[in-house]
Amino acid sequence: EPEVTQTPSHQVTQMGQEVILRCVPISNHLYFYWYRQILGQKVEFLVSFYNNEISEKSEIFDDQFSVERPDGSNFTLKIRSTKLEDSAMYFCASNGERHGETQYFGPGTRLLVL
């Protein structure tokens, strides 16, 4: 069964460093999402992406964040200059033809900023 994959599973970085989190969504899916969950808090929407552009972003998704689908398979989230408060579990998800359909989640990347 097709699945969403994410790499790395864990990342430790120093404050101020750039990180790139990678996701490979299910191949025929059209909508892609990034979420994060800070320990003990709700899962928070970061950004949705469709037709090679951002369709919606949350107030969390400021200029430090960017997303890219560089080659038609990978979907990346870049944090330019990490802060301590960026430490969280980051999940990628995708769904098929319409926003609102069943989403399929990756296993997540746990990011720790020191």
Partner 1 sequence: ILNVEQSPQSLHVQEGDSTNFTCSFPSSNFYALHWYRWETAKSPEALFVMTLNGDEKKKGRISATLNTKEGYSYLYIKGSQPEDSATYLCAFPASGTYKYIFGTGTRLKVLA
- Which stretches of the chain bind partner 1, using CB under 8 A? 3-4, 31, 33, 35, 42-45, 48, 50, 55-56, 58, 91, 99-108
Sheet holding 19-24, edge to edge: 5-7, 19-24, 75-79, 65-68
SS3 assignment, position 85: helix
If the CB atoms of residues 50 and 85 are measured against partner 1, the closer one turns out to be 50
If the CB atoms of residues 56 and 68 are measured against partner 1, the closer one turns out to be 56
User: Cα–Cα distances in Å, from 97 out to 68, 88, 94, 103?
Assistant: 19, 29, 10, 11
Q: What is the nearest approach in angstroms of partner 1 to the Cβ of residue 50? A: 7
Closest to 39 (Cα-Cα) out of 95, 71, 75, 86: 86
Check: CB of residue 60 under 8 Å from CB of residue 73.
no
Check: CB of residue 103 under 8 Å from CB of residue 94.
yes
Q: What is the nearest approach in angstroms of partner 1 to the Cβ of residue 39? A: 13
If the CB atoms of residues 40 and 70 are measured against partner 1, the closer one turns out to be 40
If the CB atoms of residues 11 and 58 are measured against partner 1, the closer one turns out to be 58
